[in-house]
Structure 1
Amino acid sequence: GQHFLKTNTLVSLSEQNLVDCSDKNFGCSGGYPSNAFNYIEVNKGIDTEESYPYEAKDGTCRYNPENKGATDEGYMSIPKGDEGKLQSAVATKGPISVAIDASADSFRFYKQGVYSEKNCSTTKLDHAVLAVGYGTTKSGEDYWLIKNSWGKSWGMDGYMMMARNKNNMCGIATQATYPIV
């Protein structure tokens, strides 16, 4: 998102590059978007998805600077829990990396509609997704449009509408960051 806004070129970046190489994170066991942005800054780049495809398992780092798809100069954090600031960032900066609580079965088996889970934590965050948009349904429910990394068979072609302005649902605004490009 931010790379496209700067270069007007849409490049799919390698998640596997981060899984294998971002040593402050935990491979397939998870990690933090801020650590991923730090890795990209220190490493001076991240490979394209085409050159370093996703394998869904931990592997040896194979980063090749010749296949670099993007760089960053650090990251910005949205104030913790501030859905208004997150909404503004999505509108002006593009997709925002957010950490959420995705531990409920209702999340894993989500198919459609505005997701609201009363047992979601705003602090026990275990999954990173992208907040790519927001809106309000015809019935008046505010939602975030999030893109998951689990493929098109999950949710609504890989996306979810998560309740917005409902006490920071699943921690969506607890740890929101975006790269400075």
Structure 2
Amino acid sequence: PCPTVALAPFCLPLRALGPCSARCQSTCGLTPRAGRAPGQGAAPQVTVTDSPERAAKPGSRGARVPGAAAGLCLPFSCSCPVFPGAVTPVKDQAVCGSCWSFATTGAMEGALFLKTGVLTPLSQQVLIDCSWGFGNFACDGGEEWRAYEWIKKHGGIASTESYGSYKGQVRAAITGYVNVTSGNVTAVKTALYKHGPVAVSIDASHKSFSFYSNGVYYEPKCANTTGALDHAVLAVGYGVLQGETYWLVKNSWSTYWGNDGYILMAMRDNNCGVATEATYPVLA
């Protein structure tokens, strides 16, 4: 039997989820994306670029996450973040297609918190401004692994505060990053449990995602293959709601979207590809 895992008495201020009907596990509602015409919903902000390198990126593609198959006892359900306190408030990328920078810094912020005990907001803007040479395109899309490569090459990433004042002081440096075993739910859980928040890419191309309000999100039309993943987000925990297992995912579309900026994404069938392209940084 696994020992009881003690978590700090803190939960994200998610709204009450409410009952789900037998037909639908999630609820749609009016969101900041709701007033857009077809084709103008999530698309401007769904900008993880696809490329040949994405399928064969450097690092430890497909490497087994330490502990994933070593008998590690994982909590069955973590309805709060696995590491409370390791997640900064929900941010808003607005009309800039820079989701990749938010996912990258979110994973970095969590790792830095686990190392230092201090939650330091890190700068998305420095990645948007400076990682062009590594294949990212600022508001026109990018990829987390390219951002990790830039951070590694340049000795670290600045905090939001220091970069905003153009001091550019390094607050977190990395030696590399890990690509969690693709499609392996246990490996992603293990990464969350041992290393904190994990950057993931998803298929967010459906109207149901733009209009998500609460409950466990399952989209039958969602794809989970690498080429179909078009939005980067941050997995921070996992749990079970009315028998449906889910990932607790932090988006970057402000607290007005979804459930205070979060979404519960179904684990079933690797819906929308949460477990397909998961990565986390290794701090120096």
TM-score > 0.5, shorter chain as reference: yes
Instruction: Give the equivalent residue in structure 1 for 2:259.
Output: 156
Q: CA deviation at 1:12?
A: 0.6
**Partner of residue 17 from structure 1, selected from 96, 101, 126:** 126
Instruction: Give the equivalent residue in structure 2 for 1:146.
Output: 249
How many residues matched?
170
Larger-gyration structure (1/2): 2
Q: Give SS of 1:144's match.
A: strand
Give deviations 1:83-104, integer Å, cap 9, x for gaps: 1100111111100000111111
Instruction: Give the equivalent residue in structure 1 for 2:236.
Output: 132
Does 2:116 correspond to 1:7?
Answer: yes
Q: CA deviation at 1:134?
A: 0.2
Instruction: Give the equivalent residue in structure 2 for 1:170.
Output: 272
TM superposition score normalised by structure 2: 0.57
| Structure 1, unaligned runs of 5 or more | 54-61
Runs ≥4 residues deviating over 4 A:
none
Give the partner amino acid of 1:179. Answer: P
Instruction: Give the equivalent residue in structure 1 for 2:45.
Output: none
What is the percentage of aligned positions where both structures have the same residue? Answer: 49
Q: Give SS of 2:264's match.
A: strand
Give the partner amino acid of 1:28. Answer: C
Give the partner amino acid of 1:147. Answer: K
Aligned-residue CA RMSD in angstroms? 1.5
Change (3 A) 1:151 1:157: same
- 1:152 touches 1:158 (CA, 8 Å); kept in 2? yes
Distance 2:166 2:275 in 1: 31
- 1:17 touches 1:63 (CA, 8 Å); kept in 2? no
Give deviations 1:96-117, integer Å, cap 9, x for gaps: 0001111111111211110001
Q: Give SS of 1:113's match.
A: strand
Distance 1:44 1:64 in 2: 15
